[in-house]
Amino acid sequence: MLLTILVSSRRILLVSGTVCCLLMQNIEEFVHTYLVVYLSLVGVLLIACGGYVKKHERIAADGGLVNQGLI
């Protein structure tokens, strides 16, 4: 699922970046905008993945007892 999100996000980013480039006609602004948007997207995905991993580490640490209602 995460891979699908990454692939579709990269496609959307590439298309939007190309459209911005055509509208701006200025490669410096395009590169700056593209990098800012791309790095922001990567940052959000890393934060989301970090939260997902932490949640599953906690579940693994208690042996799944919380999920079974034993704790």
pLDDT digits (tens, 9 = 90+) for 15-59: 676 666 666 666 677 777 778 888 888 888 777 777 666 666 666
Is 31 or 5 the better-scoring residue by pLDDT?
31
- Please give the average per-residue pLDDT across 50-71, as a whole number: 61
Q: How far apart are CA 60 and CA 57, in angstroms?
A: 5
| Residue 49: predicted pLDDT | 73
pLDDT above 60 (res 3): no
C-alpha angle with apex 54: 12 to 67, nearest 5 degrees? 115
Quote the strand ranges of the chain, DSSP E.
none
Higher pLDDT, 71 or 25: 25
CA 37 to CA 3: how far, in whole Å? 19
Is residue 59 within 8 Å of 68, Cβ to Cβ? no
pLDDT of residue 61: 60
